Amino acid sequence: MGITWPEVFKTGVFVPREDYTPRGNKSKACADGLDGWGLCMAGNKTPVTFGEGLLSLGKFLQLKGHTPEYFSAYANDILNLKGQTNGGRYTEETFAKEKQ
């Protein structure tokens, strides 16, 4: 089984999907960033355009930095997990509040 890098790291450019909502595209971009950092930290050889991919994701998400911590903080923000004491798990209660 081989490693599959998100497309943004193969091309160096994040292209939002037309069939996603704006929030869906932000979630996808954030997930790609976390996935890329995870693969990198696991010791996998990074694509030549890894840095360009991170810059593209950061620009799309309007991040101030491109480290894993910035992507993680953005993920917590988009899921409204700030201040929760449940270890960062997305609960049914959180989901119900978001739907209101």
pLDDT tens for 55-72 read: 999 999 999 989 999 998
Count CB atoms within 10 A of the CB of residue 61.
Answer: 18
Residue 90 pLDDT > 60: no
Q: What is the pTM of this model?
A: 0.77
pLDDT at 88 over 50: no
Split at pLDDT 50, 70, 90, the class of 81 is: low
Reported as a pLDDT band with limits 50, 70 and 90, residue 85 is: very low
Which amino acid type is present at position 87? G
State how far the Cα of 54 lies from the Cα of 65, in Å rounded to an integer: 9
Mean pLDDT of 5-19: 94
Distance CA 15, CA 12 (A): 10
Beta carbons within 8 Å of 45's beta carbon, 6+ residues apart:
none
